[in-house]
Structure 1
Amino acid sequence: MINIYDNVNAVAEDLRETAQYKTLRDAIATVDGEPEAKEVFSHFQQAQGQINQAIQAGSEPDESQIAEWQKIANEMEKYDSLKKMLEAEKGLNQLLMEINNIITKPIAELYGQD
């Protein structure tokens, strides 16, 4: 019998060798080397986390949370390193979506969605 976890772990290791992963790794390292950019990104993550918590709790984020998130998002635009990191994230997320589609194809086929 096949151990699917061995295959998935191999894919995880292969992921580290992709251009998308390496681009994101390098972009994160660049941001980490810029204290101001890193701090702005940290604030962005905190604000986004608060909004996500509200949504997961079944409520709407309040206007002040959204305003704060937008303010920080605008602040991020000042840093090329953050823009590059977000673009790198987008590239890696695209790859992960493609991988997910491949992995879930047998399930889609069960439902006749091939």
Structure 2
Amino acid sequence: MANPFDKAQELAQELQESEEFTNLKQLHEEVNNDEVAKKMLDNFRQLQMELQQKQMQGEQISEEEVQQAQKQFEVVQQHEQIMKLMEEEQKMSQLVSEINKIITEPLEALYGVEENQEG
């Protein structure tokens, strides 16, 4: 019988060897090696995180905060490497999301069937 942990390790290795991961890693290193780009991205992500935390705590985000976030995003958009990095992050996120969907299909099917039988 196959061990799910072994398969997960194999999948992790496959991800690390994928073109998506390789591109993401290279862009990540390029941005981190550029002091200006790194600071711009860090500031943008810090603001994003602060706003997300406020939302999760049910706090209202002010118009000023929305405008500040928009301005920072516009600044980040001007930097080609940051935008490439964000695009690759999006691709990797989508890939992981699709893999997660495949992995959880048996559980969804199991609970979906049980719910239908009860109804």
Which residue in 2 is equivalent to 1:21?
A: 21
Give, as a single letter, the amino acid of the residue that structure 1 aligns with 2:67. Answer: A
Contact 1:47 1:69 in 2 (8 A): yes
What TM-score results when the alignment is normalised by the length of structure 2? Answer: 0.84
Q: Which residue of 2 aligns with 1:86?
A: 86
Partner of 1:109: 109
Please identify, of 24-33 and 8-17, the stretch whose mean Cα deviation from structure 2 is larger. Answer: 8-17
Task: Give percent identity, aligned residues only.
Answer: 28
13 and 68 in structure 1: CA distance in 2 versus 1, 3 angstrom threshold: same
Residue 99 of structure 2 is matched in structure 1 by 99
Once the 2 structures are TM-superposed, how far is the Cα of residue 2 of structure 1 from its aligned partner?
5.3
**SS of equivalent residue, structure 1 residue 58:** coil
Partner of 2:68: 68
Compare 5-14 and 86-95 and name the one that shifted more: 5-14
Unaligned ranges ≥5, structure 1: none
Q: Which of structures 1 and 2 has the bigger CA Rg?
A: 2
Alignment RMSD (CA, Å): 1.6
Residue 85 of structure 1: CA displacement? 0.3
Deviations 1:14-67 (A, max 9, x none): 211111111110111111122111111000011001011111112232222222
- Write the distance in 2 (CA, Å) between the matches of 1:64 and 1:107: 44
Find the residue that maps to 1:16 and give its secondary structure. helix
Matched, 1:31 2:31: yes
Q: Which moved more, 1:62-71 or 1:84-93?
A: 62-71
Q: Which amino acid aligns with 1:99?
A: I
Q: Is residue 44–residue 69 contact of structure 1 (8 Å, CA) maintained in 2?
A: yes
Deviation at 1:13, TM superposition (A): 2.2
Q: How many residues align?
A: 112
Stretch deviating more after TM superposition (28-37 or 2-11): 2-11
User: What TM-score results when the alignment is normalised by the length of structure 1?
Assistant: 0.88
